[in-house]
Amino acid sequence: MSVSAETSDGIDDEDFATALQALDTATRDLEAAKRAIVRAKDELAVTLFLAARPYRAEGASLPLGSLRTLYWERPEVRVRDIARAFGVRLGELTELVGPRSEPGICTDCDTDTEVARRSRTHRPVARCPPCVEERRRRDRLRREHEQHEPWGGSEPGWGDSAPGWDHGEYRDAGSWSWIFADEPPVGTSPAYPPPPRP
Ligand SMILES: [Zn+2]
């Protein structure tokens, strides 16, 4: 091979080619490991299917505690395999096992809190009770404000058609609602007189 060119990082081409080959080998190993995991999960499914046979019998009652443990504590057992082993539908299984409470960190204030997950794939945003309450309070205020302000400060296109009046400024000029009212509210700037009465 000719004199190898150095890249700006100081890695020469030959070293890089060797690294790429190592990467190919590692990727093949990874694929083989994934296939082995799938095979192992298939075996688990068969074992569970055989073990759960009595529960699939006509009129048998389901072992709810075990179902819940399998669902929440044994992620290596696939959900569809649990459902098939016990003869229930996927949606039914989620209902049967119920939600699970897990520790989490509030996204608003970083304190420790709990999250209720409804299923393995459900990943709710963690939020502590005081922050949930604070958001509700702000939503309530915003709704009240929007009811009070017919334009709500968010009229589509308003910002485009009125240069110099972005949302923030328009919201601050909330007293503009007097344009629709009979009388201007107390403290309205005299620079904006009410429209002539019909
Ligand atoms: Zn919080």
Residues 117 and 73: their CA atoms lie apart, in Å, by 13
Rounded distance from Cα 24 to ligand 1 centre (Å): 46
- What separation in Å is there between the alpha carbon of 113 and the centre of ligand 1? 8
Determine the pLDDT at residue 197.
Answer: 61
Cα-only R_g, the chain: 32
**DSSP, residue by residue, 93-106:** HHHHH--EEEEEE-
Determine the distance separating the centroid of ligand 1 and the alpha carbon of 169, expressed in angstroms: 30
pLDDT (0 to 100) of residue 12: 83
Can you give the pTM of this predicted structure? 0.61
Question: Which pLDDT score, from 0 to 100, does residue 55 have?
Answer: 95
Which segments in the chain show pLDDT lower than 50?
1-4, 152, 155, 157-185, 188, 190, 192
The phi-psi region of residue 98 (left if phi > 0; otherwise alpha if psi is between -120 and 50; otherwise beta) is: left
CA 124 to ligand 1 center in whole angstroms? 14
The pLDDT score that the predictor gives to residue 146 is 86
Residue 92: what are its φ and ψ, rounded to 5°?
A: -65, -40
